[in-house]
Chains A and B, each alone.
Chain A
């Protein structure tokens, strides 16, 4: 019918077969136990929604309006009691070690009940992933150990992630833009560490986190070449929490300003800097950072898509419940054809959102951050070995060997086209899921009319909460450009991104 050579040529043509059918290629390779695990976790999340989220989400939201300085210590404790702060921490670091692709379906569930609570839970994993994708296993192990030990005692030592600056939002997110921007957080090399000055804004959970992974620049005139990833502990002299932002939604999850004033960060809290990475890779510092962000964003943006899908589903469920018991003009709303059309559109959106995050996760599993962990032998090995076994491996984590191995695998051996694909797919998912989140909320508001306007009914809160999804993890405009860069531009040699 067709020769192998011809088939290869035709399927590599834009859009390539391998970029178009992630699931087709990867789904058959899924370990069966992972599917069972995801099913169990979805059920567990639903139970958490029934017992914690739905009964209390609206009261928490109202409380944040009555007291804008409210911090969710009680919620954090509850989330911890249910095990969510250690659930996806790899066993290697002492966590429960659930598979990473299960994060998205669980986040969809929690977000379908309350996006703010989902963020209180989920944003910790942004900090945690930034640690792991720094390839610096010694520090990662130390901080995660602190998280786990705290969690066991009922007070998890949470990890926040800080990159945005007052004058650099989009600029700070991309190394191709940062040199043109106005970043201000400076790390000056001093004996035994760095002295940091500057500010970060909109840092989710900044007020309540023990650790914050943040980025500073040793030369503010050459930020892309001198970007340094560091970790700061709460209470460190020179590190303080500024204002508690007054947000439209997701209010139960505080957004904080963090301030550095001659703050000393010791060398053993430097995650990535040009000096230390020379030992492990020949790649220039800017490429190391680029990979770090690509890996981080590829997993986190699939998660944000699942949150958008979740809020879209929550809106559908609210609208469906309302339509099923509200009579308009003599008959139930659910029996009005126009209402059925709206509900069908909303259902369609939810399914599309779910497909988008699944495809992004398949890309990550097959060609990205999770590829090694999800191979069947590795997956079963990690799943079946007892925690005591992993404790024996700790000396390796604390040695340069682990950092070297991670750097080799993810910096030197990982092909750029795979990184581009995962990056583009996760941006595609992020835009898709978050846009349908807003769309479904607006459709539900149309369908519910006056009833949807009351805070006590929950629907208006969903809309307020959903809007933030289109902004964080890079704005959807920026994500469209990343999608273009990762999935379209590679096939068009003359294409240039971020040029005006």
Chain B
């Protein structure tokens, strides 16, 4: 990302992530992308824990490393140039943490953070999109959840899940923390999806599963709204990293691959494609940087900046990665190169935090309301 507007900490995190990416991710990407048809690779996850990437935005007194959203974005952008699966994993855990922070449920963060355990959540949708959410009932010992929840990210490997559920007779929905090891929670086989294969997803079935309320009853939409506004910057950073990776690879390839008697970068048609990719990547960079700055400085209408950035960069990443394959021709379509994965990942990441058309409508409502 644009380093001149970063502070020193951010720059050092970018270097750390880039170093990690080169040493650990590059060689493992193709193999780990075969999940769920090969076992999940815990080695990379252990390294992520060690580096503190599972608590970047958490305050230090809660066991995190107390950085702002800008640092999270820098790390995600850097990692996702090589492998967005890991970016999606870090994002999901961070989104769950952010919702818990917004709800003031610091106690619920204590065990997962101190023991480096992952929290699953539904990253690819706004809970409002779902007609049927699990039902929450309050008993003597606390709440229990019953029902099913589809496409819960990290469910196959997480220790906890942050679930949404409706309390009968109440408007809105609430968030609940669920211990995945209990008998009342059943996780499906990992779901094979379009992209970010190594960020496992599963369907959950809850049968009177014990759960702890996060924040207040019926306030889920408010917590999610605030958290998703902040995390939209991180979603944009993921897509930015993917398209940066796609552009860098396409540029390198086009300087080496010869057709028509010289490197294909000399074909002016290829140059214009690469230029379009570069333009989108640079604009995306600017958008993410400004979005982070707007959040950290709490500029008026910061949420509009951030959500606009996310929608723009996610769409751009889909276009850029399509061309990223095209520049490589047949080779771009093969799994030996990273380009086809970036194409799939970019499309998958476009759905982060909910359906893009609905997020656009929400954005305009916010603009209109100001």
Chain A residues within CB distance 8 Å of chain B: 62, 65-66, 164, 167-171, 177, 180-182, 201-202, 245-249, 327-329, 338-339, 342, 438, 442, 445-447, 449-450, 452-456, 460, 463-464, 467-468, 470-472, 475-477, 480-481, 498, 500
Q: Which of B183-224 contact A (CB under 8 A)?
A: 191-195
B contact residues around A445 at 8 Å (CB) = 194, 347, 350-351
Question: Smallest CB–CB gap between A473 and chain B, Å?
Answer: 11
Residues on B with beta carbons closer than 8 Å to the beta carbon of A182: 258
Contacts of A202 in B (CB 8 A): 330
**Chain A residues touching B, majority SS:** helix
- How far, in Å, is B238 (CB) from chain A's closest CB? 15
Q: How far is the CB of B213 from chain A (nearest CB, A)?
A: 25
In the complex, chain B residues whose CB is within 8 Å of the CB of A180: 259-262
Give the interface segment out of B113-121, B289-297, B321-329.
B321-329
Query: Which B residues are CB-close (under 8 A) to A247?
Result: 333-335, 340
Once the chains bind, are A181 and B357 in contact (CB under 8 Å)? Answer: no
A456 CA / B190 CA spacing, docked (Å): 12
Q: Using CB atoms, name the residue of chain B closest to A245.
A: B334
Residues B258 and A450 in contact, CB atoms below 8 Å apart: no
User: How far apart are A137's CB and chain B's nearest CB, in angstroms?
Assistant: 32
Choose among A164, A181, A456 the residue that contacts B330 (Cβ–Cβ < 8 A).
A164
Is B273 close to A, CB under 8 A? yes
Q: Is there contact, CB below 8 Å, between B266 and A500?
A: yes
**A171 touching B260, Cβ below 8 Å:** yes
Say yes or no for B67: interface residue by CB 8 A criterion: no
Nearest to A480 among chain B residues (CB) is: B269
- Interface contact B261-A338, CB-CB below 8 Å: no
- Interfacial chain A residues near B344, Cβ < 8 Å: 248, 460, 463-464
- Known A453-B195, A467-B340, A476-B326; further 14 A-B contacts with Cβ < 8 A: A66-B37, A180-B259, A181-B259, A445-B194, A449-B124, A450-B355, A453-B351, A455-B191, A456-B192, A463-B194, A464-B194, A464-B344, A467-B325, A500-B268
B348 within 8 A of partner (CB) = yes
Contacts of B330 on A, CB cut-off 8 Å? 164, 169, 201-202, 471-472
Q: CB-nearest residue of chain B relative to A327?
A: B131
Contact call B269/A467, Cβ cutoff below 8 A: no
Closest chain A residue to B329 by CB distance? Answer: A169
Return A245 CB to nearest CB of chain B, in Å. 6
Q: List 11 A-B contacts (CB under 8 A).
A: A168-B259, A171-B260, A329-B358, A338-B361, A449-B358, A454-B193, A456-B191, A460-B344, A467-B333, A471-B325, A500-B268
Tell me whether A450 and B266 are in contact (CB under 8 A): no
How many chain B residues touch the partner (CB < 8 A)? 50
Query: What residues on A are CB-neighbors of B175 within 8 Å?
Result: none
Which of A245, A446, A471, A500 contacts B267 (CB under 8 A)?
A500
* Interface membership of B336, Cβ < 8 A: yes
Question: Closest Cβ of chain B: how far from A204's Cβ, in Å?
Answer: 11
CB distance from B42 to the nearest CB of A (A): 21
Partner of B357 from the list A167, A446, A455, A498 (CB cut-off 8 Å) is: A446
- Does A450 lie within 8 Å of B125, measured CB to CB? yes
Closest A residue by C-beta to B132: A327
The answer to the question of B151 belonging to the interface, with a C-beta cut-off of 8 Å to chain A, is yes
**Given known A-B contacts A62-B192, A449-B125, A449-B355, A442 and B267 have beta carbons under 8 A apart:** no
The residue that A167 contacts in the complex, of B128, B258, B350, with Cβ under 8 A, is B258
Contact A467–B343 (Cβ < 8 Å): yes
Does the CB pair B325–A246 fall under 8 Å?
Answer: no
Q: Report the minimum CB–CB distance from B363 to chain A (whole Å).
A: 13
Q: A201-B330, A447-B357, A454-B193 are in contact. Are A170 and B347 (CB under 8 A)?
A: no
Given A245-B334, A454-B151, A170-B329 contact (CB < 8 Å):
yes
A368: min CB distance to chain B, Å:
26
**Cβ contacts under 8 Å, B258 to chain A:** 167, 181-182
How many Å from the CB of B260 to the closest CB on chain A?
5
**5 tightest Cβ-Cβ pairs between the two chains A and B:** A180-B261, A460-B194, A449-B355, A248-B340, A246-B335
Specify which chain B residues have a CB less than 8 angstroms from the CB of A464 in the assembled complex: 194, 344
Residue B318 CB within 8 A of the other chain = yes
In the assembled complex, the Cα of A91 lies from the Cα of B37 at a distance in Å of 46
Contacts of A472 in B (CB 8 A): 330
Name the contact of A471 in the complex, choosing from B193, B268, B318, B333 (C-beta under 8 A).
B333
Residues A446 and B129 in contact in the complex (CB < 8 Å), given A438-B322, A467-B333: no
